[in-house]
Amino acid sequence: MSDPTDTLVGETLRIPPVAAAPTAAATGSPATLEADAISAWFGDHKVLDEVSLTMPAHQVTALIGPSGCGKSTFLRILNRMHELVGSASLAGRVLLDGEDIYDRGRRITQARRQIGMVFQKPNPFPAMSIYDNVVAGLKMGGIKAGRQDKDALVEECLTKAGLWKEVRDRLRQPGGALSGGQQQRLCIARSLAVRPRVLLMDEPCSALDPTSTRRIEETIHELSHEVTIVIVTHNMQQAARVSDQCAFFLAEQGTPGVIVEHGATDAMFNSPQDPRTTDYVNGRFG
């Protein structure tokens, strides 16, 4: 039997048919995610070179660096979205609590249930209700649930995403009618519905106003005790506010992206070891 996969078209997820579905969402504790010597290509163009990074459980890891250094590519490799691009290839391993998500016997849908993704632009299903947007995550993950379970899950996930109080009286209204910041929190709620152990965020605030950005950052803080978070951000102040550790990516003079330096956020901003890190976090380039 073929393995159903999610497809991504213009940052909009299409729901695949589900063959055999578990009866309840798997609950798991936050996981440690480890990239081991990851290299990546698009065709003959190498975009990452031997990148290794441990993203500890219960922590927020920020990936920082100028545009074009491979941060978003690295993030998509962490939940097997890189392979959706026809010309893409990679080498190395991605370990979720020590198990390689790229092992031949491991299903793509299993990896994406455990490692969720929130994209740069909010991508709710616009014609679908707020309620149905949240439970759509179950269908993507191949999870069956009764109406009572769904009701409880919608409230739980919207609460965790900081949206419940704002939308609880209009759950049947279209998700596309929400503000940009609310749509992004709805996408977070949808990702949480399948009980991921890791949540990846690709510049989740770049299209949002300052008030919405602050609310998303509060949501990240609130979620970090129950899900491992990896966030790509170009906003140095945001990285300093939300993360426990940072990894600084750089691609110099047409070379593939590498991690120049990584470590605790306070150390990266206040006492970096590499002068290029000092220059970047102080806004001298990028």
Task: Dig out the tokens for 261 from the structure.
Answer: 């330096």
pLDDT at 12: 38
What's the CA gap between 261 and 273, in Å, rounded?
Answer: 8
**pTM metric for this prediction:** 0.87
What share of the chain in percent tops pLDDT 70? Answer: 90
What's the CA gap between 159 and 186, in Å, rounded?
Answer: 10
188-214 per-position pLDDT tens digit = 999 999 899 999 999 999 989 999 999
Q: Which residues contact 247 (CB under 8 A, 6 or more apart)?
A: 53, 61, 62, 63, 64, 259, 261, 262
Distances in whole angstroms, Cα of residue 71 to Cα of each of 25, 182, 205, 232, 277: 30, 25, 16, 7, 15
31-281: in CATH 3.40.50.1980: no
pLDDT at 10: 36
2-37 per-position pLDDT tens digit = 333 333 333 433 333 333 334 333 456 899 999 999
pLDDT at 18: 34
Averaged pLDDT, 139-159: 89
pLDDT at 14: 39
Extents of the domains making up the chain: 31-281
- Cβ 121 vs Cβ 207: under 8 Å: yes
Instruction: Give the dihedral of Cα atoms 101, 106, 111, 112; nearest 10 deg.
Output: 130
Q: Among 101-105, 127-131, 262-266, whose mean pLDDT is lowest?
A: 101-105
213-242 per-position pLDDT tens digit = 999 999 999 999 899 999 999 999 999 999
Closest-CA residue to 254 (of 35, 36, 49, 39): 49
Residue 160 sits at the vertex; the CA angle it makes with 100 and 227, to the nearest 5 degrees, is 20
pLDDT at 20: 37
